Amino acid sequence: MRAAGTACGANSVAVVIPCHRAQRSDGSMGGYAYGIERKKVLRAREGVGE
């Protein structure tokens, strides 16, 4: 989990490498380096639920 979080946090091309698709093991969204609102928009645009 920590490795995935670290990799997502260091991702400078977040839209190309889709770290916004990562979610917590309990199904909740978790954080996003560019803000949770942007993560929600990206996921909704792709048809991925919350």
CA–CA distance, 35 with 15 (Å, rounded to integer): 13
Q: Two tokens at 47?
A: 């048809």
User: Is residue 19 annotated as part of the catalytic site, yes or no?
Assistant: yes
Q: Residues 25, 26, 31, 36: what is their CA dihedral angle, to the nearest 10 degrees?
A: 130
Out of 8, 19, 20, 42, the active site residue is 19
Q: Which residues are catalytic?
A: 19
